[in-house]
Amino acid sequence: MSKSRGNTIMLKMTAEETAKVIKGAKTDADRNIAYDPQGRPEVANLLRLISICTGETPESIAAGIGDGGGGKLKAALTEALNAHLAPMRERRTRYAKDPAYVKDVLRRGVARAREEGITTLKQVRKGMNMDHGLD
């Protein structure tokens, strides 16, 4: 899936919006779903996405869909992806309602990154013998 192709699935999307994007995903005319990354890259991509969500192998997912065709493949992906993304979407919604909390987390992250950067830079200067009394 690619943002430039207009088929990106974002966390802010609803389950219905996700289903609509998946329905538009490219497959092929062969009704028998098989995992063949070289010969059927579009189908293989959708099978891999289901695999990421479920932990099941693409081959076993394909075997379960069998002659169900692209429609059954896309329905399986929609179900698996929406289930996988549900907890993340819930957290995103919660954080979107509390911008002060998000800003605080970002401020603390910046402070920690700054500390790490200063420490790393000191180590680099020392390693390069460039720490002439700088602290």
Chunked into runs of 10 residues, the chain (135 residues) has average pLDDT values of: 67 95 93 96 97 97 96 97 97 95 97 97 92 68
pLDDT at 6: 67
Of the candidates 61, 60, 87, the one whose C-alpha atom is nearest the C-alpha of residue 73 is 61
Full set of structural domains in the chain with CATH: 3-91 (1.10.240.10), 98-135 (no CATH)
pLDDT at 114: 98
pLDDT at 134: 59
pLDDT at 2: 47
| CA pair distance 103, 62, nearest whole angstrom | 44
**Is residue 46 within 8 Å of 73, Cβ to Cβ?**
yes
Encoded tokens for 104: 């605080």
